[in-house]
Structures are given as structure tokens and as C-alpha cells.
């Protein structure tokens, strides 16, 4: 994870309602933030799997 990712997680961890106060002006902005958030979550999940803290989810 890079420094930006860690700062985003720190903000969210310290204040779970942080993102509730973020006002976005357009649908495009909302989609970009959502995509960034999803990418950040996916990379964090992948990092936890790589370090052995989580097992990969299998659809069986």
C-alpha cells in the first residue's frame, strides 16, 4: 500500500462517518470516488491475503 492509501484508511478508521460529510458535485465525481474506494478496499483485501491474514473467498 502506498502513503495515500494508508492516509485514507486512517481517516476512515478514526472517523467512520468521514465520508458521509463529503459532498460531491456531480455523478461523475461520485462514480470516481466510488471506484477509488472500491479499488482501495480490493487492494487492502489482497494485501491481507498475501500476508496470510485472510483466506481467499471461494465460490463453491
User: Hey, where are the domains in the chain?
Assistant: 3-16+26-50
Mean pLDDT, range 19-40, rounded to an integer? 76
Residues 6+ apart with CB under 8 A from 42: none
Per-residue pLDDT at 5: 67
Asked if 23 contacts 29 with a C-beta cutoff of 8 angstroms, the reply is no
Average pLDDT, the chain: 76
Query: Which has more pLDDT, 17 or 36?
Result: 36
- Could you tell me where the beta strands, DSSP code E, fall in 3-60? none
Mean pLDDT, range 46-59, rounded to an integer? 82
pLDDT at 4 over 80: no
Find how far residue 6's CA is from the centre of its chain.
10
Amino acid at each position: 500500500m502506498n502513503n495515500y492509501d494508508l492516509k485514507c484508511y486512517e481517516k476512515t478508521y478514526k472517523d467512520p462517518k468521514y465520508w458521509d460529510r463529503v459532498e460531491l458535485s456531480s455523478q461523475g465525481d461520485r462514480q470516481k470516488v466510488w471506484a477509488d474506494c472500491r479499488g482501495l478496499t480490493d487492494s487492502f483485501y489482497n494485501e491481507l491475503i498475501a500476508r496470510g491474514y485472510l483466506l481467499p473467498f471461494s465460490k463453491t
